[in-house]
Amino acid sequence: MLDRKIFFYIPSTFKLNNKIAFNMKKSVTIKDIAKELNVSIATVSRALRNSSEISKETKKAVLKLAKEMDYHPNLVARSLINKSSRVLGVVVPTINRQFWSNSISGIENEAYKVGYKVMIFQSAESYQKEVEIVEILANSMVDGILIAFSKETQDFAHVQHVVDRGIPVLLFERVSEFLQLSKVVTDDFLGAKTIVNHLIERGKNRIAYIGGPLSLTVCMDRFLGYKSALLENKIPFDEKLAIEISDFNVEYAGRAFKELWESGNRPDAVFCFADVLALGVLAVSKELKIKIPFELAIAGFGNDEIAKYVSPSLTTMDQPSFQIGQLAAKLILEQINSEEKDDFLFKTEIIKPVLVIREST
Amino acid sequence: MLDRKIFFYIPSTFKLNNKIAFNMKKSVTIKDIAKELNVSIATVSRALRNSSEISKETKKAVLKLAKEMDYHPNLVARSLINKSSRVLGVVVPTINRQFWSNSISGIENEAYKVGYKVMIFQSAESYQKEVEIVEILANSMVDGILIAFSKETQDFAHVQHVVDRGIPVLLFERVSEFLQLSKVVTDDFLGAKTIVNHLIERGKNRIAYIGGPLSLTVCMDRFLGYKSALLENKIPFDEKLAIEISDFNVEYAGRAFKELWESGNRPDAVFCFADVLALGVLAVSKELKIKIPFELAIAGFGNDEIAKYVSPSLTTMDQPSFQIGQLAAKLILEQINSEEKDDFLFKTEIIKPVLVIREST
DNA sequence: TTGTATGCGTTATCAC
DNA sequence: GTGATAACGCATACAA
């Protein structure tokens, strides 16, 4: 079957056509259709917006003609007059990592339900670009801005500034304690604790920890969550089972786990800091022919690119990152809607990013 | 070091503050600053837009007051009058896959250079949603729309419709031959051929092929690119070295490669259809302790999530998907700028998605 | 129920 | 140089 002749084969990409065509059209407005129908533009406007103060007949006539003339409402003009564009602006460091693209999907998902659109920008971890973006968004009449700060960002004046201009802003994941705003973040301590408890409940008591450098807050939080779970369950902490590796690297994690396994002091479960590390452990497990999950259970945080390879059944919506997005959108929409009422209370929502990767049954 | 006490530790996420605050402000306009300065709004407008027909003093005064009053131009109003928002609309099936998010990064990168913003929407592979999105974009005065069709999309009237309204549209990657528009696509045939030639140039002549089901056009194109390279280099096609697997699955690819390797009929290089498959091959290579790239070279298409794990040195901008985005943006911006001139010729650009994953030196 | 007039914030075309 | 004024496309208070 693989032995077909190729001489007369035309790759599909070559079948595409190159043609010319171009036409500049001015779009039809309510004015046009009003003139055509000999009514006022106010009447047309009312008919199109399904207003109550209009007769059935004129409404029908307007709608009919609008369709015939191929009328489309200009959302920009509508924004200007309504002082609302029904658009949320989102600023993330990059959309190239699953965590952020998932978050955005969550935001979009929630926004879409109530007819909101989402405008996405990437700061590319650049403070300067972030400042520019926030300025653009603020000047574009978006109804709200959701920001995850770039790594460079130390000064938050640009955000405080748009807040002072009365624009709803929400921070997620990469937040600042200096800004009094609604925030959505993951709770690393509680998340880790929950995961480890999960393993303990399933009868594991020699649970290894493999994580990144403890100098990072996120690592320390997760490590202490791990310890806390052991403590509460009266499982002694075994220093030899806890490994701190210097970087989030598949190879390092694999090597560390290999040494651990071959040391004889074998764990019955591994709590991995992130699924990049889990992948390393999984790879070595395969190499060593360890049965997952029966001989060894692997669980950890799953907010990374690799998750779906490790756990193919995982859908986007299962990801904590997606839920962060959803919650973030929900919160800012709440704030936007309460703007008139002038009684909004900022909230900080904390997500437990539990994602069990391969647990034993 | 890992033995710290945790009793007094406060996870960082708990340090966040919940406070209230809220203020609705009406933004300052050129009218406000004109009144304050006792000049006309026209003068203010000219000063702010750095017009030539204005005196240095008034300009300076306006700029100074504008800063003091915290003036920001309303981009929506500007769009309305300029009939241009300097925004590109992008519709992709999802941003959750590296291929698409990379493409978007490419688009953004190019657009950003000329002061354009990018509005991103996900069709979620739904035709219905795609139609809605295109409508929204068309009504939002975006200057151009870039679309990669959803899998469901068979009917292209929604696109033809906005084209007829005079809105520049460009198709990328998932295109249609029924629409006469500029397009940017990858050339699977040439891409595969180039990769295989690359391996041949490096002295390999027992090059295995591992790819997906040939019923898919993309697979057939790549397979024939592989064959074509062999043919041109007078290397006989060995049926036993060409493996068609039923799905894009890490495990399948690994298993197929393992069988191949253990059959004794060993290749000195593998051309992998996609890097998901390459990952499978890499995993098994590790298991079998095959030296990569010395004993075996692996090369293939690299538009997938896994690429950076396989080839850590790879940057986003190296990805063909990024280049597709760049080219797409370049083309549509060209079209937008030539709109007045009414002389634009649609082009189809074909990208060769060559990404060598682990080549031998 | 419909029409008139005004405004959203900005730019552009005239005059002066 | 600067100032009125008319757009851009739409919505609405008010009048009829």
Give residue numbers, 97 to 116 of B, with CB < 7 Å from strand D: none
Q: How far is CA B113 from CA A69, A120, B86, B118, B122, in A?
A: 38, 17, 12, 12, 24
Which residues of chain A make contact with B141, given a CB cutoff of 8 A? 74-76
CA→C1' distance for A158 and D16 (Å) = 51
Residue A39 exposed, middle or buried by CB count within 10 Å (0-12, 13-18, 19+): middle
Q: Are strands B355-358 and B297-300 parallel, antiparallel or unpaired?
A: antiparallel
First to last CA, chain B: 43
Could you give phi then psi for residue B264, rounded to 5 degrees? Answer: 95, -25
Distance in angstroms (rounded) separating the CA atoms of residues A117 and A87 = 5
Kindly report which listed range (A44-48, A289-293, B189-193, B327-331) carries the lowest average pLDDT score. A289-293
Q: What is the pLDDT of residue A308?
A: 57
Confidence of residue A355 (pLDDT cuts 50, 70, 90): low
Q: How far is CA A48 from CA A173, B3, B348, in A?
A: 41, 69, 40
Name the amino acid, one letter, at B205: N
H or E stretch at B120: strand B117-122
Give me the helix-helix angle, B41-48 and B56-68, nearest 10°.
90
Which residues of chain B make contact with A121, given a CB cutoff of 8 A? 117-118
Comparing alpha-carbon positions, the chain A residue that sits nearest to B103 is A96
| Among B residues 28-47, those touching chain A with beta carbons less than 8 Å apart | none
Sheet containing B297-300: order of strands? B242-244, B207-211, B269-272, B297-300, B355-358
Residue B21 has pLDDT above 70, yes or no: no
Confidence of residue B319 (pLDDT cuts 50, 70, 90): confident
Q: Do B12 and A217 touch (CB under 8 A)?
A: yes
Residue B361 has pLDDT above 60, yes or no: no
Output b/e per residue, A210-230; b: 16+ Cβ within 10 A. Answer: bbbebeeebbbbbbbbbbbbb
Confidence of residue A4 (pLDDT cuts 50, 70, 90): very low
Mean pLDDT across chain B, nearest whole number? 85
DSSP class of A20: B
Q: Do B224 and A9 touch (CB under 8 A)?
A: yes
H or E stretch at A189: helix A188-201
CA→C1' distance for B69 and D5 (Å) = 26
Name the amino acid, one letter, at A323: Q
DSSP class of A345: B
Q: What is the pLDDT of residues A235-293, one digit of tens each?
A: 999 999 999 998 888 788 999 999 999 998 999 999 988 777 888 888 888 888 888 87
Nucleotides of D under 7 A from a protein CB: 1-5, 7-13
Q: What is the pLDDT of residue A171?
A: 96
Give residue numbers, 101 to 140 of A, with CB < 7 Å from strand D: none
Residue A35 CB lies within 7 Å of the nucleic strand D: no
- Whether A244 and chain B come into contact, CB under 8 Å, resolves to yes
Q: Do B214 and A2 touch (CB under 8 A)?
A: yes
Mean pLDDT along residues A102-121: 92
Q: What percent of chain B has pLDDT over 90?
A: 57
Q: Name the residue with higher pLDDT: A260 or B287.
A: A260
Give residue numbers, 180 to 209 of A, with CB < 7 Å from strand D: none
* Segments in chain B forming alpha helices (H): 30-37, 41-48, 56-68, 75-82, 98-113, 127-139, 157-164, 188-201, 217-232, 250-262, 275-287, 307-310, 320-337
Residue A73 CB lies within 7 Å of the nucleic strand D: yes
Cβ atoms of residues B106 and B136 within 8 Å? no
Distance in angstroms (rounded) separating the CA atoms of residues A212 and A227 = 15
Q: Do B190 and A11 touch (CB under 8 A)?
A: yes
Q: How far is B207 from chain A (nearest CA, A)?
A: 15
Nucleotides of C under 7 A from a protein CB: 1-5, 7-13
Select from B92, B96, B290, B338 the residue whose CB has the most chain A CBs within 10 Å, as the one to mutate to test that interface. B96
CA→C1' distance for B169 and C14 (Å) = 37
Mean pLDDT along residues B18-37: 72
Q: What is the pLDDT of residue B354?
A: 60
- Helices (H) then strands (E): counts for chain B: 13, 11
Q: What is the pLDDT of residue B318?
A: 72
Q: Do A2 and B175 touch (CB under 8 A)?
A: no
B46: which nucleotide lies closest, measuring CA to C1'?
C11
Distance in angstroms (rounded) separating the CA atoms of residues B269 and A2 = 19
Residue A64 CB lies within 7 Å of the nucleic strand D: no
Cβ atoms of residues B108 and B146 within 8 Å? no
Q: Do B242 and A95 touch (CB under 8 A)?
A: no
Distance in angstroms (rounded) separating the CA atoms of residues B240 and A75 = 60
Q: How far is CA A111 from CA A166, A335, A336, B7, B275, in A?
A: 20, 13, 12, 41, 34
Q: How far is CA B59 from CA A113, A274, A316, B29, B66, in A?
A: 47, 56, 53, 16, 10
Mean pLDDT along residues B275-300: 83
For the ranges A16-20, A334-338, B284-288, the maximum mean pLDDT occurs at: A334-338
Q: What is the pLDDT of residues A76-104, one digit of tens each?
A: 999 999 999 999 999 999 988 878 988 99
**A22, A76, A104 ranked by CB distance to B76: nearest:** A76
Kindly report which listed range (A170-184, A314-328, B122-136) carries the lowest average pLDDT score. A314-328
* Segments in A69-156 forming alpha helices (H): 75-82, 98-113, 127-139
B53: which nucleotide lies closest, measuring CA to C1'?
D1
Distance in angstroms (rounded) separating the CA atoms of residues A261 and A258 = 5
Distance in angstroms (rounded) separating the CA atoms of residues B247 and B270 = 18
Q: What percent of chain B has pLDDT over 70?
A: 85
Q: Name the residue with higher pLDDT: A138 or A315.
A: A138
Name the amino acid, one letter, at A275: D
Distance in angstroms (rounded) separating the CA atoms of residues B260 and A161 = 63
For nucleotide D11, give the residue with the nearest CA to its C1'.
Answer: A81
- Collapsing DSSP to helix, strand or coil, B168 comes out as coil
Distance in angstroms (rounded) separating the CA atoms of residues B334 and B329 = 8
For nucleotide D4, give the residue with the nearest CA to its C1'.
Answer: B40
Q: What is the pLDDT of residue A307?
A: 58
Cβ atoms of residues A77 and A105 within 8 Å? no
Sheet containing B348-351: order of strands? B117-122, B87-92, B144-147, B169-172, B182-186, B348-351
Q: Do B96 and A98 touch (CB under 8 A)?
A: yes
Select from A123, A140, A245 the residue whose CB has the most chain B CBs within 10 Å, as the one to mutate to test that interface. A140
Q: How far is A10 from chain B (nearest CA, A)?
A: 9
Residue B228: closest CA among A14, A13, A11: A11
Mean pLDDT along residues B76-89: 95
CA→C1' distance for A83 and D15 (Å) = 26
For nucleotide D1, give the residue with the nearest CA to its C1'.
Answer: B54
Q: What percent of chain A has pLDDT over 70?
A: 85
Distance in angstroms (rounded) separating the CA atoms of residues B209 and B202 = 17
Q: Hey, how many other C-beta atoms are within 10 angstroms of the C-beta on A239?
A: 10
B78: which nucleotide lies closest, measuring CA to C1'?
C10
Cβ atoms of residues A120 and A74 within 8 Å? no
Q: What is the pLDDT of residue B98?
A: 80
Residue B14 has pLDDT above 50, yes or no: no
Residue B355 has pLDDT above 90, yes or no: no
Task: Find tokens 């151009």 and name the residue.
Answer: B144
String of DSSP letters for B141-159: T-SEEEE---TT----HHH
Residue B18 has pLDDT above 70, yes or no: no
